[in-house]
Amino acid sequence: MHSNVKISVRGLKKSFEKLEVLKNITLDITEGEVVVLLGPSGSGKSTFLRCLNQLETVTDGTILVDGTDITAKHTDMNQVRESVGMVFQHFNLFHHLTVLENMTLAPVQLKKANRQQAEQTALQLLQRVGLADKATVCPAQLSGGQKQRVAIARALCMQPDIMLFDEPTSALDPEMVGEVLAVMKDLARAGMTMVVVTHEIGFAREVADRVIFMEGGYIIEQGAAKEVIDHPHEPRTIDFLSKVL
């Protein structure tokens, strides 16, 4: 594990009008670390994740990504987002484009690669997620698990340093969950820095370097996956895990 800090969060607060969703979160995530966020619905996990690439504007506090303060007014977020990939619950693929077109759109538009380079990279990544034969089909012809694997490969086309996953398996049928988690495990083994909001406790136990339990906008407990999942200290963590395990 590198001690190189990729994401540094200090005093993060986020409110939607009067509702305070994040209350003073301070956290460092180091290079190559896989961090899983657990907690009940409404605990602030997804909001925290969306703050990390400024899909949600923070109310107070600072977030540094690779040393760049992404909460500063003058920061070019488009540039920051090139190094921070995001995978959503509902895939967010463009239905009118083929799989290959979905994957090459951003790299070509953002001048990261010419079309030929982008297509070559996309095809390699499709092979990596086991979908080399799906390049020319449209998302409607794919299963949920295949769509999510395409969405992961699409994020990887931008060659990010950090990957954020917002409940990537919660919209999937149970038999498709494994194929998506397998791709994520593969990424983790390859050293990708990952922050994952999920309810997949088995994945957390197997892959996470650190599990963070959130409730009510606070970090209640954090530590090594086996510690937090198998020997939680805080009553609220114990209560939550007793319901999901």
Per-residue pLDDT of 116-174, as tens digits, reads 999 999 999 999 999 999 999 999 999 999 999 999 999 999 899 999 999 999 989 98
Nearest Cα to Cα of residue 228 among 212, 244, 206: 212
Cα 121 off chain centre by: 21
In three state form, how does the secondary structure of 74-135 look?
CCCHHHHHHCEEEECCCCCCCCCCCHHHHHHHHHHHCCCCCHHHHHHHHHHHHHHCCCHHHC
Q: What pLDDT does residue 77 have?
A: 82
Q: How confident is the model at residue 109 (pLDDT cuts 50, 70, 90)?
A: confident
Distant-in-sequence, close-in-space partners of 182: CB < 8 Å, separation ≥ 6: none
Nearest to 153 by CA among 114, 106, 196, 111: 106
Q: Which residues are 65's β-sheet partners?
A: 7, 68
Token representation of residue 48? 């925290």
Instruction: Give the Cα separation of 62 and 170 in Å (integer).
Output: 30
Q: Return the SS3 of 213.
A: strand
Question: If you average pLDDT over residues 11-18, what whole number do you get?
Answer: 94
Whose tokens are 């896989």? That residue is 34
| pLDDT given at position 151 | 94
